[in-house]
Structure 1
Amino acid sequence: MTKVAFLLANDYEDSEMKNPYDSIVEAGYETVIIGLEKGIECKGKKETVSYLTDLAVADADASDFDAVIIPGGSAPEELRVNEDVIKFVKELNNKSAVIAGICHGPQVMISADILRGHEVTCYQGIRDDVKNGGAKYINEEVVVSQNIITSRTPKDEPAFIREILAKLN
């Protein structure tokens, strides 16, 4: 069965977690919420949803997963400075697993140094960071570049989810 990780820390953009998560679950994929620690509650910045982490990233084995989704908001800033997060994302990229980030989610990909040579979109405020990370920035609702899927904001979630599901199928 296809196994999808969601990388999460506090202050993520609520809908950027909830809508992809619900869609992945509804499609029948196994989901695992990975945080900096196991069993901690991560709250969205608007506090409309919260999730308990199933697994600490230090205990996550990239070989067990087919995809990772990184919601935006402020959470990616906290995640990107954790060496276990970076190692996990790099290992997933090395096996060409799907790596999807929306809004500020690509910040984790920048820190993992996996964007070089890819076309990417993101929240406008980090477009220079994406370019400095070696990617070509494209201002579109969703951009698919090999195994990497990126979107800009909550309004782009339908396209983001559509492309993730298409890659998983």
Structure 2
Amino acid sequence: MAKVAFLLGPQFEDSEMKNPYDAVKEAGHEAVIIGLTKGDTVEGKQGEASYQTDLSIEEANADEYDAVVIPGGSSPENLRLNRFIQTFVQKMNQQQKPISAICHGPQILISANLLHDRTLTCYPQLKDDMINAGANFKDEEVVVDGNLITSRTPKDEPAFIRETLKALDKVTV
């Protein structure tokens, strides 16, 4: 089964973490929560979910993971400028491992300079940021471009989870 990194910081969108995290675990995959500091408790912005980080990003090695999920909310804004976060997603991308980012999640991909000539979607208000980063923006519930899987908002979670699990099935064959 796949080993999946969840990049998580404070004020994440509760359902965008909880639902994919639960689905990944229910499918039998290993889910590891990676934050800026190991053992931190991070709270969702709706107050409906909280998680403890299993590992700090400085301890995380992209070679040990099969995929990464980036929930939205304010979490990506809190993580995006960290050079270890940027390096982690860059290495995942270089190895063509699935990167699933929902809502504000693609902000991390902007900061890691991964969006040039890529096609994706995101939270609608970030459209101009994505285009300015060189991405081709589509206003769809889920967009898959190679190893990159993106969705817009919590209402798109079923499609986001479906495509993420489909990508995990391919890496575990």
Shorter-chain TM-score range: over 0.9
SS of the residue corresponding to residue 15 of structure 1 reads helix
Aligned CA RMSD, in angstroms, stands at 0.5
| Alpha-carbon distance in 2 for matches of 1:120, 1:133 | 11
Give deviations 1:12-41, integer Å, cap 9, x for gaps: 000000000000000000110000000000
Mapping for residues 1-12 of structure 1, pairs under 5 Å: 1-12=1-12
What does residue 18 of structure 2 align with? 18
> Letter of the aligned partner of 1:68 in structure 2?
V
Q: Which residue is 1:124 aligned to?
A: 124
Question: Structure 1 CA distance, aligned partners of 2:75 and 2:136?
Answer: 24
Give the residue type in structure 2 aligned to 1:22: D
Alpha-carbon distance, 1:133 to partner: 1.1
Once the 2 structures are TM-superposed, how far is the Cα of residue 115 of structure 1 from its aligned partner? Answer: 1.2
| Structure 1 moving runs of 4+ over 2 Å | none
**Structure 2: which 5+ residue stretches go unaligned?**
none
Letter in 1 for 2:2: T
Matches of 1:17 and 1:93, distance apart in 2: 21
Structure 1 unaligned spans of 5+: none
Deviations 1:101-128 (A, max 9, x none): 0000000001111111111000011111
1:104 matches 2:115: no
Cα offsets for 1:117-163 (capped at 9, x unmatched): 11100001111111111110000000000000000000000000000
Number of the residue aligned with 1:71 = 71
Aligned-pair identity in percent equals 56
Calculate the TM-score normalised by the size of structure 1.
0.99
C-alpha distance after superposition, 1:85-111 (max 9, x if no partner)? 001110111100100100000000011
Residue type of the alignment partner of 1:61 = N
Match of 2:49 in 1: 49
Q: Any residues of structure 2 matched to 1:145-164 within 5 Å, and which?
A: 145-164=145-164
**What TM-score, normalized to structure 2?**
0.97
CA distance in 2 between counterparts of 1:122 and 1:165 reads 19
Query: Match for residue 137 of structure 1?
Result: 137
Rounded Cα–Cα distance in structure 2 between residues aligned with 1:135 and 1:146: 14
Give the structure 2 partner of residue 30 of structure 1.
30
Alignment partners' CA distance in 2, 1:47 and 1:154: 15
